[in-house]
Amino acid sequence: MSTLRGRVAGLPEWDRCAVMGVVNVTPDSFSDGGRWFDTAAAVKRGLGLAAEGADLVDVGGESTRPGASRVDEDEELRRVIPVVRDLSAEGVVVSVDTMRASVAEQAVAAGAVLVNDVSGGLADPAMVPVVAAAGVPFVVMHWRGFSADMNSRAVYRDVVGEVLAELRERLDAVVAGGVASERVVIDPGLGFAKNAEHDLALVARLRELRGLGRPLLVAASRKRFLGQVLSGGEGSPPPARERDAATAAVSAIAAREGAWAVRVHEVRATADAVRVARAVEGAERTGATG
Ligand code: PMM
């Protein structure tokens, strides 16, 4: 099934959908903000996620929740770099979640092996050249603009078709900019300039995104669309921290649809979900008749 999932040059290969645990070193991230807002606590959290089964740990210092304003560069560096350094030194496979080339560059120097840019290189013109020069894998997410006003850009006639076309354009641009295509991961950017209906359509049709020929990262964890699904559109949605079972359900779906990795805040249930998906894949392959 690795043909379905694809391989990312420069990273370990897992025999199932990989689990990326999230450490947001921010005071305001919508789902876990504030809890890991100092280096020691963030490192401890990252090690805990790895112990629970995270294959990679994604460290970010800037909240991208809808309406969020930007953090300044020095502050982002101060939050992220020591956490990347300490986790890498402990043998954790670290990715850095940043839209800034300077942060990506210093994080790679501190041990990060993957750059996860929610803007797909659009926010900072220096990002693609930095990633190309560093020779590290790069996550290109579907993005239509900064969080402050992204909800106004959630307008589509055919969300899957448009996300596919816009991702293809970014993929071509980053490859033209010198990033090896074998190192590019694509991501539909659930919740970024998308409403719940858009997010669900994308989850339903993940397989079509695999048509871009690159491994797929899916990051549904605790997002608004899950809150809306759980509230049934009535009453207030459950708080972010009560959306982990729903997140694990999406992880199982994504793994079955051939996602290369899922990015989650709570690792344990998703680590189980991707293993169940692998076992089902195995049964499918051997054509077990029971
Ligand atoms: N979402 C968030 C942050 N980073 N990275 C990728 N590749 N894809 C995403 O969808 C994504 C991301 C926002 O969620 P958080 O604040 O809960 O981490």
- For 156-237, strand residue ranges (E) read 184-187, 217-218
Distance of CA 50 to the CA centre of its chain: 16
CB 96 within 8 A of CB 139: no
Tokens of 13: 């290969």
Residue range 199-257, pLDDT digits in tens: 999 999 999 999 999 999 999 999 999 999 999 978 899 999 999 999 999 999 999 99
More confident residue, 28 or 136: 136
What gap in Å lies between CA 158 and CA 201, rounded to an integer? 10
Q: Which atom of ligand 1 is nearest to the CA of 139?
A: 7
pLDDT at position 269: 98
Query: Over the chain, what is the mean pLDDT?
Result: 93
What single-letter DSSP state applies at residue 212? G
- For the chain, strand residue ranges (E) read 18-24, 56-60, 94-97, 114-117, 138-141, 184-187, 217-218, 261-264
pTM above 0.85, yes or no: yes
The residues with which 94 forms a beta bridge, in sequence order, are 57
Q: Which atom of ligand 1 is nearest to the CA of 265?
A: 17
Q: Which atom of ligand 1 is nearest to the CA of 221?
A: 17
pLDDT at position 1: 43
Give me ligand 1 centre to Cα 211, in Å. Answer: 22
What superfamily in CATH does domain 15-286 come from?
A: Dihydropteroate synthase-like (3.20.20.20)
Q: Active-site residue 194, yes or no?
A: no
Taking CA atoms only, the protein residue closest to ligand 1 atom 12 is 118
Residues with CB under 6 A from ligand 1: 22, 24, 29-31, 63-65, 97, 116, 118, 139, 141, 187, 189-190, 217, 219, 221-222, 263
Residue range 174-215, pLDDT digits in tens: 999 999 999 999 999 999 999 999 999 999 999 999 999 999
Q: Is residue 151 scored above 90 in pLDDT?
A: no
Catalytic member of 100, 183, 223, 256: 223
Taking CA atoms only, the protein residue closest to ligand 1 atom 11 is 219
Please write down the long-range contacts of 99-104, taking CB distance under 8 Å and 24 or more positions apart: 99/62, 99/123, 99/124, 99/127, 100/73, 100/76, 100/124, 100/127, 101/126, 101/127, 101/129, 101/130, 102/73, 102/77, 102/126, 103/61, 103/73, 103/76, 103/77, 104/130, 104/131, 104/134
Residue range 13-67, pLDDT digits in tens: 999 999 999 999 987 654 555 555 689 999 999 999 999 999 999 999 998 877 7
Q: Which atom of ligand 1 is nearest to the CA of 22?
A: 18
Percent of the chain residues topping a pLDDT of 90: 83
Catalytic member of 45, 85, 214, 263: 263
Tokens of 36: 């890991």
Q: Active-site residue 44, yes or no?
A: no
DSSP H or E segment with residue 52: helix 39-52
Give me ligand 1 centre to Cα 118, in Å. Answer: 7
* Beta-strand pair 261-264/138-141: unpaired
Q: What torsion, rounded to 10 degrees, do the Cα atoms 75, 35, 116, 112 define?
A: 80
Give me ligand 1 centre to Cα 290, in Å. Answer: 40
Q: In what order do the strands lie in the sheet with 261-264?
A: 184-187, 138-141, 114-117, 94-97, 56-60, 18-24, 261-264, 217-218
Give me ligand 1 centre to Cα 171, in Å. Answer: 19
For residue 134, CA distances in Å to 26, 94, 127, 138 come to 26, 15, 11, 10
Among 20, 80, 97, name the best residue to mutate to test ligand 1's pocket (greatest count of ligand atoms within 8 A of Cβ).
Answer: 97
